Amino acid sequence: MIVKTISHTSTKRSNIQKLIRYVFDPKKMNYDALERKQLIVKKYLRGYDIEQWSDMFIENDNKRSFNHSKRTVLRHEIISFSPEDNKLLSRDMLKDFAKYYLKHRSVKSLGVCGVHYDEAIHIHFIISGVGIDSKSTRISRNEFKSFKIKLQEFQQEKYPQLSHSIVEHSKKKV
């Protein structure tokens, strides 16, 4: 699977809501042809009112122990699977990937994710840039690479049938 990350530095409520509304757009989260229903997994967030989630992310960011202008307020991360594995991906598998990601990616961060059923099924994550302990959750490129390798190992160990979604994260870029 491919893992992408985008940092968001805006503390404006409207920008945070825009990202949340995009990720949880019902048109992207349902796919009738394969009878797929919405899947939302969350960590340290209360309720299912997406409008209130932006307030929770802002409130959490306001507790940050160190403020600076270029801080990461939210991380928008995406894991994508090969279109050839779409029919093999069950709701339980996707939930398992989502829970693993939220548990291991940033242990003390607020997080929520939603599955999009496009040409290639993918999971969008919104993760706070500061943990519930008020400290930054930034990790280095090497730590992120290590996480992606562990995620790949999780996939290969638990779901070897998703063979088309294997990406060699341990290879060096040419």
pLDDT confidence of residue 131: 93
- The H-or-E segment that residue 166 falls in is none
Which sign, positive or negative, has the C-alpha torsion 91, 92, 95, 100? negative
Length of the chain equals 174
Domain ranges of the chain: 2-161
Q: How far apart are CA 26 and CA 12, in angstroms?
A: 23
Give the end-to-end CA distance of the chain in Å, rounded to a whole number: 19
DSSP 172: P
**73-86 mean pLDDT:** 95
Residue 110 near residue 75 (C-beta atoms within 8 A): no
pLDDT band at 170 (very low <50, low <70, confident <90, very high): low
Contact of 85 with 34, CB cutoff 8 Å: no
Q: How far is CA 166 from the centre of its chain?
A: 18
Q: Tell me the CATH number for domain 2-161.
A: 3.30.930.30
Position 167 scores a pLDDT of: 79
> What pLDDT was estimated at residue 109?
95
Can you give the pLDDT at residue 27?
A: 86
pLDDT tens-digit map of 37-79: 889 999 999 999 988 999 999 999 998 887 777 789 999 999 9
Report the pLDDT value the prediction gives residue 34, as an integer from 0 to 100.
61
Amino acid at 83: P
Parallel, antiparallel, or unpaired for β 121-131 and 40-43? Answer: unpaired
Return the bridge partners of 7, or none.
75
Q: What is the mean pLDDT of residues 128-148?
A: 92
In tens, the pLDDT along 90-130 reads 999 999 999 999 999 989 999 999 999 988 899 999 999 99
Q: What is the pTM of this model?
A: 0.91
